[in-house]
Structure 1
Amino acid sequence: MAICQRNDVGSVLLHRSGNGGSNSGTWPSFSAASFRRRIINTMRCGGGGGSRHRPSGPPAEKPIQQPRPEPEVRSGPKKPGGSEKLSELLRLSESSENEDEVKKKVETLEELKGVAKMLQSSDGVLAGASEVRRLAKEDLEARTTLALLGAIPPLVGLLDSEGVELQIAALYGLLNLAIGNDANKAAIVKAGAVHKMLRLIESPNGCPDPAVAEAIVANFLGLSALDSNKPIIGASGAIPFLMKTLKDSGKTSSSQAKLDSLRALYNLSILPTNVLPMLETELVPFLLSMVGDMEVSERILAVLSNVVSAAEGRKTLSSMRDAFPILVDVLNWTDSPGCQEKASYILMVMAHKSYGDRQAMIEAGVASSLLELTLLGSTLAQKRASRILECLRVDKGKQVSESYGGGLGATLSAPLCGSSSSIAGTNHQSKECLDEDESMMSDEKKAVNQLVQQSLQNNMRRIVKRANLPQNFVPSEHFKSFTSSSTSKSLPF
């Protein structure tokens, strides 16, 4: 910090010579650098010829400056900016869209009210039923609104009319109202539509109109999807009509009507109380005869899966001579895993319930198919095949234990003391029993080895087929020796 000192610079005296000679100035004795430094120090300390004396004591308070008043803003309409204009336009567009939607809903409601009034009138009934069919075909809200407006009872009442065109319009109107709406399905059945539909089938000519019958089948399919409708439809007598449509070999029923009948029977078979009426129509023999048609085989096996859940259904299936060979053959359908899973389920239920059915399965050659299924089937099919094999293994174990237990009991019950002839006779009998058991065990081992070889050969054929090798491909001697030396240790039972 610069130190302020007293300025000792003397005054400059200018002496003018009297004779007009030259002027001379008298300067104090210091250098130019010192003079320049003193001037700079003087300017830093505030200038002036002498040092400033600051008064001692507390510093004077500075006056508080009052804040300047803000200028008054004139009130007036503000011009909206860009974002405000955009938000205002969006609000206007939303309000206009809401108005359009409300207007459209009001118009739709008025249209549906007009259709409901047409059903109540006597002149526009056909047009009203046709409009219900059109409006309810793809609009879920229209189905609900029409039902609330009371469209179902008039449509059910139209089933009593004599005109075929009016009957078809009413049937398809009810069908579209029931699509995806459980409340409408229950309301249609509650209004008595099922019995009226069956009366349409029982025409005085004995042959109902094919278009009417197809529409009734479609209605039964839709209505039977609701659990509360299953017992009503099953007890109404609709099952014989569905079976008749399914069995129709002529051109009276279309392929779509037959497929709808099969699907409706599947829905009804879910309820165990409907199984007995189905068995009375010879459902099981007919379905087994249709197994093989890949278009419907999976659905047929699904129906049979529901049928065997009842004791009557299992008894009927057991009485069929070709039932187990057909089901065992389905296990070999490698290109249809769904059919394999359902066939294995049917066999699993039958195997768990009856020893005689297990013996019939063994006679039908189920063991080799099950072994192959445990190797190449789907996950679900493999689990079911393993369970069936477990049941068969338990039966084999019981037979072996009973045979060994019987022979051992006979040996132990023989007298331990007596003549040598009695002891020799006893030893001879026990030896014969053991020889018989060994022969039986050898037969079982032979059967198991044969199953293993058959399974390996089938797998080899599949590998050859997948590898696109020539058909006359012959396995090597190493593979033959491997199959011949395989034992039952590689089997799951």
Structure 2
Amino acid sequence: MAKCHRNNVGSIALDHRRATKTSTSGGHFRLWNSTLRRIIFDAVSCGSTSRYKYDNDGGDGEITSTASTSRREKHAEDQKTEKKVMNVAGNEMGAWRKKKEEELKEMKEMVKELEGEDLMKKRMAAKRVRMLAKEEGLEVRGTLAMLGVIPLLVGMVDHDENSVESQIESLYALLNLGIGNDANKAAIVKVGAVHKMLKLIDCSDSSVCEAIVANFLGLSALDSNKPIIGSSGAIPFLVRTLRNLDDKSSRQAKQDALRALYNLSITPTNISFVLETDLVSFLIHSIGDMEISERVLSILSNLVSTPEGRKAISTERDVIPILMDVLNWTDSPKCQEKASYILMIMAHKSCGDRHAMIEAGIASTLLELTLLGTPLAQKRASRILECLRIDKGKQVSGSYGGNLGATVSAPICGSSSSFTKTEGRSVEDEDMMSEEKKAVKQLVQQSLQNNMRKIVKRANLRQDFIPSERFTSLTSSFTSKSLPL
């Protein structure tokens, strides 16, 4: 500021001398007067002089001043926007906090009503717990459990004074509390809910039984609960419920019972309890029902993994023909895979089952499956064929349909020239290989003829339909080629 003042004072003195000369030279007082006023004004305004000078010279100062003003205005607008956002967020947070406080207050009131003696209020409170646990999600289920509703609801299950409606509301409230919450499932079993539910199985109301089945399904999903439920007597109840359900009964209850039995059969210690019932027989003869076949085969897949389970399945009448029929269900690849798994385990573990499969004519079905099945079904079918053939390097002695009298060896590859006598091979070995080739050719030819009969049957042709000579010649030539097993 001082520097500016000194410069302006010097300018005033110089301009004053020039003005004096000008005034003496001939009446230019007006010019001197205006120049002096401008100089004095510039000296007084000091810093403003440069701004106006820039404005007159090119406008750079005006651009700088405008940009600075624009930044200040934008900053002010940003502050206002941020303030509005904070206000909105604060309002939403306050509303959320208020809502949570109201929900917590409501849940505490429900707990008080469940602890009371008024049966009507207890039933209404259980109904509200049921709906709240269903609609509000995991957080509310955890909060309700911490408030202690689980023991109160379990206490309502077998209370003699409670009506059927109260029992149903409490059972479904427990079911919803356990959905997606393993801690709640464990807590429900820990306080004795399983035994209390089993006390109600003799009641005549089917709705209560369906609610109990649904609870066993949910609780059995937790691994730590499986042995507890299995040893409690729930498995016979589920089997009886499954057998007693008819076409008019709830399909959902039937599916729930099967899924609960599947969960329980995963634990090996529960299989002995399953085998004490007639579940295996019921399952095998229910395979034709397409609505439950996949679940039935899943349970049998768990049972066949233990020696006692395999024995129970093997001794069941017509089990191998039934499972063979499943292998032809091309519209149900999952069932094919599960049936082939059961047969694979049986063939691998039991020589008697292998003989039964050969006598039932399973070879043609397996050959078809290796060509038309899913990759997993093809792999399992190939393993079954291997199990049927090998026995310490030799083939299992038997016949396809009782007519195959030779020993069947590994797949024969190449033409008949591959069986020519080589150096060091005895005549006996050559004869054996020739017999093996004939056996495989006969097996493949019979398989193709069997498949042709199936195609004729599916096409609704005459039963006495005789394939043409063309087809016979094709099958004969095809048997000389190897098959991918």
TM superposition score normalised by structure 1: 0.71
Match in the other structure for 1:191 = 191
The alpha carbon displacement at 1:252 in A equals 8.5
How far apart, in 2, do the equivalents of 1:179 and 1:309 lie? 30
The one of 84, 88, 105 aligned to 1:110: 105
How far apart, in 2, do the equivalents of 1:404 and 1:334 lie? 32
**For each residue in 1:268-296, what CA deviation from the matched residue of structure 2 results, as whole angstroms up to 9, or x when unmatched?**
01111111111111111111111111100
Matched ranges for 1:448-467 at <5 A:
448-455=444-451, 457=452
How far apart, in 2, do the equivalents of 1:252 and 1:330 lie? 27
The alignment's C-alpha RMSD in Å is 3.6
How far apart, in 2, do the equivalents of 1:319 and 1:243 lie? 20
Partners of 2:151 and 2:191 within 8 A in 1: yes
How far apart, in 2, do the equivalents of 1:483 and 1:344 lie? 27
- Which amino acid is 1:344 matched to? S
Match in the other structure for 1:125 = 122
- Which amino acid is 2:295 matched to? R
The alpha carbon displacement at 1:97 in A equals 1.3
**Which is worse superposed, 392-401 or 273-282?**
392-401
Matched ranges for 1:33-52 at <5 A:
none
The alpha carbon displacement at 1:447 in A equals 2.4
The alpha carbon displacement at 1:299 in A equals 0.4
Partners of 1:175 and 1:219 within 8 A in 2: yes
Match in the other structure for 1:178 = 178
Change (3 A) 1:388 1:436: closer
Residues 1:484 and 2:481 are matched in the alignment: no
Residues 1:97 and 2:68 are matched in the alignment: no
How far apart, in 2, do the equivalents of 1:488 and 1:179 lie? 60
How far apart, in 1, do the equivalents of 2:434 and 2:293 lie? 44
How far apart, in 1, do the equivalents of 2:260 and 2:338 lie? 18
The alpha carbon displacement at 1:399 in A equals 4.2
What secondary structure is seen at the aligned counterpart in 2 of 1:485? Answer: helix
Match in the other structure for 1:380 = 376
The one of 362, 366, 375 aligned to 2:362: 366
Residues 1:392 and 2:384 are matched in the alignment: no
The alpha carbon displacement at 1:208 in A equals 3.1
Residues 1:148 and 2:149 are matched in the alignment: no
How far apart, in 1, do the equivalents of 2:144 and 2:274 lie? 36
TM superposition score normalised by structure 2: 0.72
Q: How many equivalent residue pairs? A: 388
What secondary structure is seen at the aligned counterpart in 2 of 1:398? Answer: coil
The one of 274, 284, 288 aligned to 2:284: 288
- Which amino acid is 1:490 matched to? S
Match in the other structure for 2:345 = 349
The alpha carbon displacement at 1:335 in A equals 0.4
Partners of 1:210 and 1:252 within 8 A in 2: no
- Which amino acid is 1:482 matched to? L
Match in the other structure for 1:24 = none
How far apart, in 2, do the equivalents of 1:216 and 1:86 lie? 57
Higher fraction of helix? 2
Matched ranges for 1:160-175 at <5 A:
160-162=158-160, 163-175=163-175
Partners of 1:328 and 1:365 within 8 A in 2: no
- Which amino acid is 1:446 matched to? Q
**For each residue in 1:341-396, what CA deviation from the matched residue of structure 2 results, as whole angstroms up to 9, or x when unmatched?**
00000011111101111111111221111111111111111111111112122149
How far apart, in 1, do the equivalents of 2:102 and 2:264 lie? 41
**For each residue in 1:62-114, what CA deviation from the matched residue of structure 2 results, as whole angstroms up to 9, or x when unmatched?**
xxxxxx8799xxxxxx8774333222222221211111111111111111111
What secondary structure is seen at the aligned counterpart in 1 of 2:390? Answer: helix
Q: Return 5+ residue gaps in structure 1 as ranges.
A: 1-67, 72-77, 406-429, 466-471
How far apart, in 2, do the equivalents of 1:490 and 1:251 lie? 49
- Which amino acid is 2:135 matched to? E
Q: Return 5+ residue gaps in structure 2 as ranges.
A: 1-45, 50-71, 398-404, 408-425
What secondary structure is seen at the aligned counterpart in 2 of 1:292? Answer: coil
How far apart, in 2, do the equivalents of 1:192 and 1:400 lie? 54
**For each residue in 1:97-143, what CA deviation from the matched residue of structure 2 results, as whole angstroms up to 9, or x when unmatched?**
11111111111111111111211122221121111111111222211
Partners of 1:325 and 1:364 within 8 A in 2: yes
**For each residue in 1:189-223, what CA deviation from the matched residue of structure 2 results, as whole angstroms up to 9, or x when unmatched?**
00000000011124xxxx53211111111111110
The alpha carbon displacement at 1:251 in A equals 7.3
Change (3 A) 1:81 1:440: closer
